[in-house]
Amino acid sequence: MHLNLFVYPGGHHEAAWRHGSSDPDRLLDVGHYQDLARSAEAAAFDGVFFADGPSLADNVRYASRFRLEPFTWLSAIAAVTERIGLIATASTTYTEPYNLARLFASLDHLSRGRAGWNIVTTGAPQAAGNFGLDSHPVHAERYARAQDFLEAVTKLWDSWEDEALVADQRSGLFADTDRIHTVDHDGPLLKVRGPLNIPRSPQGRPVYVQAGSSEDGRAFAARHAEAVFTAHQTLGSGQDFYADIKKRAARLGRDPRQLLVLPGISPFIASTEAAARRLHEEFNELTQPEYSLQLLHRLLGVRLSQEELDGPVPRELIETDGERGNGSRFRLVLDIVEREQPTVRELLHRLAGARGHRVIAGTPEQVADQLQQWYEEGAADGFNVMPPWLPGGFDLFAEHVVPILRQRGLFRGEYSGRTLREHYGLPRPASRYAAPRGAAAAVPVA
């Protein structure tokens, strides 16, 4: 199976920064994140993943929900690691194709072929004002731009053929400009001339990762993604998504094995199940209802008060129509409400652990059992490991769960490749502008 370390400042539990095992003074210390990446590389993880968003979270008052810029962060990690993949989130709604193509090509060169792009359309409406927009584009518009955007950046990454960089000191030829191509992308929403001003990167282009399970998200992933980050609470839900996304890819003529499904998993680990549950409860007891209720409002559109914490979640107040209803996380939380009928407090504690991703509390063997079941029964090709707190939550997983997975033949003991594509078992794509053997190159660069 494939394993990524998903890093969130402080950890994935919303109260992680308050727990005695955490050190909030290190949240802006680059050495803290370098140490985490080195630990993940020592455990032979496929990649380290850093989420991002182009706006300040409206609930930062109570939780460590600021955002470090991912390219700067991953460049610092690239400097102290050699093998582990480096996956950054970047928005197709709030960036431009040429700038983003340069950033990722630079990261891929700097890391010798370890870059991955988590392609998002950005769901936070408050981002619009940061970019001079009066309103946030609606769901369908964001995905239409994402389609056009991906086509443009793919052309840019392909615009240098592999043989274009010559650097022949004897002849004095540095670049074969017959092998560098304008792209002249003229899509429905975006126009980009090209070529890119950086040679083709070691992987050809970064690994395409997508996060989102809405109908538009599934269609986009089936066509383009090479790995999908997703959230599921039950084995059945995971199996349904896994089967659906693989079938969609196959119908488009893709090899389903080259589309990896990687759900999030947030484990509380202890020597006994009872101790792990107590640990989970310790974190939940540190949650602050005002923060949690704001999160619930953002996810479901329902405003509730602290006086309602021990009453049932009012399903009748949750509207399924409109823009919010298109979101995959909305559907996941609504499913919890309808399936389990929790109290408001119980639902808030469910979401506190990892914002809707699956939380496990158990022994190392129990955690490994669940990962193995999902992997072997068609719900996952691997997992995004989301430690509840850092670094301790990850240390426990690496020291106690990973050895069990290796003993069962489920996870590598060491790296066999150097690039993220090699870790994931993905081919290196050829440039679309590469001339057939024996043919003249196409469009010279002026």
Q: Are 116 and 421 in contact (CB under 8 A)?
A: no
- Select from 386, 352, 351, 350 the least CA-distant residue to 367: 386
Give the Cα separation of 393 and 19 in Å (integer).
12
What DSSP letter does each residue of 337-391 carry, written as one string?
Answer: HHHH--BHHHHHHHHHHHTTSEEEEE-HHHHHHHHHHHHHTTS-SEEEE--SSTT
Q: Is 52 known as a binding-site position?
A: yes
296 Ramachandran zone, left/alpha/beta (phi>0; psi -120 to 50): alpha
Q: At what angle do helices 273-285 and 344-354 cross, to 10 degrees?
A: 100
Radius of gyration of the chain (CA): 22
Q: At what angle do helices 235-251 and 215-224 cross, to 10 degrees?
A: 50
Residues 6+ apart with CB under 8 A from 139: 121, 214, 216, 323, 326, 327
- Which 3 state secondary structure label does DSSP give 437? coil
Rounded to the nearest 5°, which phi and psi values hold at 380? -165, 150
Q: Is 21 known as a binding-site position?
A: no
Q: Which amino acid is at 408?
A: R
User: Cα–Cα distances in Å, from 84 out to 44, 67, 80, 262?
Assistant: 7, 22, 10, 17
Q: Is 89 known as a binding-site position?
A: yes
Q: Is 213 known as a binding-site position?
A: yes
What DSSP letter does each residue of 132-185 carry, written as one string?
Answer: T-SSPPPHHHHHHHHHHHHHHHHHHHHSB-TTSEEEETTTTEEE-GGGB----E
Q: Is 214 known as a binding-site position?
A: yes
Q: Are 127 and 53 in contact (CB under 8 A)?
A: yes
Give the Cα separation of 419 and 113 in Å (integer).
5
Give the Cα separation of 397 and 303 in Å (integer).
36
User: Cα–Cα distances in Å, from 41 out to 85, 408, 415, 425?
Assistant: 9, 20, 9, 17
Q: Which residues are annotated as a binding site for FMN?
A: 52, 89, 139, 143, 213-214
Q: Which residues are annotated as a binding site?
A: 52, 89, 139, 143, 213-214
